[in-house]
Amino acid sequence: MKIKKRLLHWETTSGKAEYVNCRFLHLKRNKMTQDIQYRKAVLSDAKKLSILYKQVYIQTYGIEGVSDEFANFITKQFAVERLENIIQSNPDSVIVAAHKNNLVGVAEIEFDKKAPVNGIAGPELNKLYILEWFCGRGIGYRLLMEAEQTVLSKGDKWMWLWVLDSNNRAIRFYERQQYEPKGKATFQMEHNKYENIVMMKQLKM
């Protein structure tokens, strides 16, 4: 079958328009996906994780820019020292996806966490972050499966999470993986509140 070459138009940081052969881009992305390794995070990952978390968080939630409370939250939440402590205190809680030892995605589990609805308690999928360039290649699915297997290995049969109610792409993804909505809950920053959907899944071996 003959493959037609298509051109993708995009703006570079220099402001000049460039054209990239989409077929080459597709083949390159497929090879990069095959080169992804999944492993538990180690202390030397902490600085890279801090950058990855901030990048994805801003891109996903910074729809009105970066406010003071937003900056305060991500600076504290994704501090290198805090991430080092998480990795050191519970080595099974952070799973990374790496390409050539460069981090491209991460899943973070918080064990024995109480959910904000229906008295649910158990392991929470605290974060599932993928760099935008690597989205759509099954990395999020693989990280989620790794997280679920980690939870099962601890003897737990359920995992819950919450997701911003306007993040339709994430909601659809979790629904495809059999996570079911259990209610809504509000996440409070310093001044602003954000509505989230709490979802849960019964895990199977």
Tens digit of each residue's pLDDT, the chain (205 residues): 433 333 333 333 333 333 333 333 444 455 555 689 999 999 999 999 999 999 999 888 887 888 898 899 999 999 999 999 999 999 999 999 999 999 999 999 999 888 888 788 899 999 999 998 898 889 999 999 999 999 999 999 999 999 988 889 899 999 999 999 999 988 877 777 889 999 999 998 7
**Superfamily in which the 37-202 domain is placed by CATH:** Gcn5-related N-acetyltransferase (GNAT) (3.40.630.30)
pTM above 0.75, yes or no: yes
The continuous run of DSSP H or E covering 176 comes out as helix 168-176
Indicate where the chain has its CATH 3.40.630.30 domain(s).
37-202
Region at 140 (left for phi over 0; alpha for psi -120 to 50; beta for the rest): alpha
Distance, in Å, from the CA atom of 83 to the CA atom of 95, rounded to the nearest integer, reads: 12
Of 93, 95, 85, 121, nearest to 109 by C-alpha is 93
